[in-house]
């Protein structure tokens, strides 16, 4: 599906969806437990993949009519009904069954990495695969870690990419892995390590990128009664622990919030503003978007107690932003930079090339189609808004939800009409994104 977006002012209230990162971890944590209720989950293409994995390991995921909160979910088939405001998870209580079939993680890299470590706990073998994009993403360091623990971790093609085969009933130990490829390796090992006999100590060979995502993991583990901690060389989790909680409430998602805030900073109507609800403080690194917008000169206020952020259209100026810990913000910042005065320099971003697509190259290519002046280096993206003249064009979404949403925001301030291809992929993290834009007054039509 394509969408057509015309230059248009926006104002009003919108609600960010629940956090995808927290939802993944909460569903799997409930799977490691004997069960739990997850309130306010994000039910999207990615999180449905994690639900399917929990069921493949012997658990069960279903809507919980006793749950609280309003529905903020997406469309499509999955392990749970899409109108669920809460999920009832029956877990496999620490030890997964051997799946009856291959686990298809679809396009969800988080699912594949987190549940690969789960499979290494099993007596039998688990096979995991995904779509074309997921089968091109690096999994080698996690497979190597599993083998360091005495388990079996193989890539069927011998290239460190899915399909993967894991097993061996690992019982814990010490592993050494790079920290600059994906923080999800650390998350996977900590979550699985808690239910091993000996626990797992993770030594990082390089600086950890995307560190706030591990902080999210530690926060979720603590909510389920599991202790894990930083060490001088990495992270550690003791074995023999049990996941236990009655209910867990998922907070709002700051990665998704960033697109709504960017829309307000760029296109809020004169005298109006965009207010984003559901923005309570948490361990999410992507809350840094508030600081980025402030540094760019945006008029923005965050009522942390109410969980509301209000932003007005502002004359933005370019800044330098290090996305080492916040890779998912790169598309949003690039779109902001295309409409800001001066130069926006996004640095420390090489790891952003290993997401659903090479997001550095994708944003450079598509913003240039819209008339932006862009320079791309291996670890840097420079957007010269002062030299840009944004005009409508047909742009590719790369089957990547974040590329689609960032380009759609840019379309709000480009002259004429912008057509964004592959708009359906927003279902991965923000199923109601285009409805939210329409609710703010944006001119958005399905093509």
| 328 labelled catalytic | yes
The residue among 94, 103, 244, 100 whose CA lies nearest residue 172 is 94
Q: How far is 346 from 227, CA to CA, in rounded Å?
A: 35
Phi, psi dihedral angles at 102 (to 5 degrees): -65, 140
Q: Is the dihedral of CA 16, 21, 23, 26 positive or negative?
A: negative
Q: How far is 329 from 284, CA to CA, in rounded Å?
A: 12
Which 8-state DSSP code applies to residue 184?
H
Burial of residue 271 (number of CB atoms within 10 Å: 0-12, 13-18, 19+): exposed
* Residue 250 contacts residue 39 (beta carbons within 8 Å): yes
Element (H, E) at 31: helix 20-32
402 is in an annotated binding site: yes
109 is in an annotated binding site: yes
136 is in an annotated binding site: no
CB atoms within 10 A of CB 230: 13
Q: How far is 148 from 131, CA to CA, in rounded Å?
A: 28
Provide CB contacts within 8 A for 411, sequence distance 6+. 5, 6, 7, 370, 392, 417, 418, 420
182 is in an annotated binding site: yes
Q: How far is 191 from 235, CA to CA, in rounded Å?
A: 12
Q: Which residue has the tokens 């890299």?
A: 109
Phi, psi dihedral angles at 276 (to 5 degrees): -105, 125
236 is in an annotated binding site: no
210 is in an annotated binding site: yes
389 is in an annotated binding site: no
258 is in an annotated binding site: no
Q: Is the dihedral of CA 51, 67, 277, 282 positive or negative?
A: negative
Beta strands per DSSP E along 172-329: 173-177, 200-204, 228-230, 234-237, 247-249, 274-277, 299-303, 308-312, 320-322
- Which of 46, 286, 325, 328 is flagged as catalytic? 328
21 is in an annotated binding site: yes
Task: Note the residue count of the chain.
Answer: 447
160 is in an annotated binding site: no
Q: Which residues are annotated as a binding site?
A: 20-21, 25, 109, 137, 182-184, 210, 328, 355, 359, 402
Which parts are annotated binding residues for 3-phosphoshikimate? Answer: 20-21, 25, 182-184, 210, 328, 355
Binding-site annotation: residue ranges for phosphoenolpyruvate: 20, 109, 137, 184, 359, 402
Q: Enumerate the active-site residues.
A: 328
């Amino acid at each position: 599906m394509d969408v057509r977006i015309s230059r248009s002012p926006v104002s009003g209230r919108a609600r960010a969806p629940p956090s995808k990162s927290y939802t993944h971890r909460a569903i799997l944590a409930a799977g490691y437990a004997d069960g739990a209720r997850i309130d306010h989950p994000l039910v999207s293409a990615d999180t449905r993949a994690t639900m399917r994995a929990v069921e493949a390991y012997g658990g069960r995921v279903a809507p919980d009519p006793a749950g609280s909160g309003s529905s903020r979910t997406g469309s499509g088939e999955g392990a749970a009904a899409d109108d669920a405001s809460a999920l009832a998870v029956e877990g496999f209580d620490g030890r997964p069954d051997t799946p009856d079939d291959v686990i298809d993680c679809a396009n969800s890299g988080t699912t594949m990495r987190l549940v690969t470590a789960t499979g290494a706990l099993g007596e039998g073998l688990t096979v995991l695969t995904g779509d074309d994009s997921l089968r091109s993403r690096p999994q080698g360091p996690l497979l190597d870690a599993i083998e360091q623990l005495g388990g079996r971790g193989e890539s069927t093609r011998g290239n460190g990419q899915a399909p993967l085969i894991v097993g061996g009933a690992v019982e814990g130990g010490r592993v050494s892995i790079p920290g600059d490829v994906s923080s999800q390796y650390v998350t996977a090992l900590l979550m699985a390590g808690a239910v091993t006999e000996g626990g797992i100590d993770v030594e990082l060979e390089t600086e950890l990128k995307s560190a706030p995502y591990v902080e999210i993991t530690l926060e979720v583990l603590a909510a389920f009664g599991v202790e894990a901690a930083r060490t001088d060389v990495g992270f550690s989790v003791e074995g023999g622990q049990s996941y236990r909680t009655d209910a867990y409430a998922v907070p709002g998602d700051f990665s998704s919030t960033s697109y709504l805030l960017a829309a307000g900073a760029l296109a809020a109507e004169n005298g109006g503003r965009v207010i984003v609800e559901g923005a309570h403080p948490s361990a999410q690194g992507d809350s840094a978007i508030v600081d980025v917008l402030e540094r760019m000169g945006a008029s923005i206020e965050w009522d942390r107690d109410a969980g509301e952020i209000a932003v007005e259209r502002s004359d933005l100026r370019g800044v330098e932003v290090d996305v080492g810990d916040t890779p998912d913000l790169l598309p949003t910042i690039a779109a902001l930079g295309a409409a800001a005065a001066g130069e926006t320099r996004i640095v420390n971003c090489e790891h952003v090339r290993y997401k659903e697509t090479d997001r550095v190259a994708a944003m450079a290519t598509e913003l240039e189609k819209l008339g932006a002046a862009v320079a791309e280096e291996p670890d840097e993206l420079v957007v010269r808004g002062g030299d840009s003249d944004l005009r409508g064009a047909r742009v590719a979404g790369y089957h990547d939800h974040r590329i689609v949403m960032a380009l759609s925001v840019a379309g709000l301030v480009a002259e004429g009409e912008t057509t964004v291809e592959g708009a359906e992929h927003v279902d991965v993290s923000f199923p109601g994104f285009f409805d939210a834009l329409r609710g703010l007054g944006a001119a958005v039509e399905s093509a």
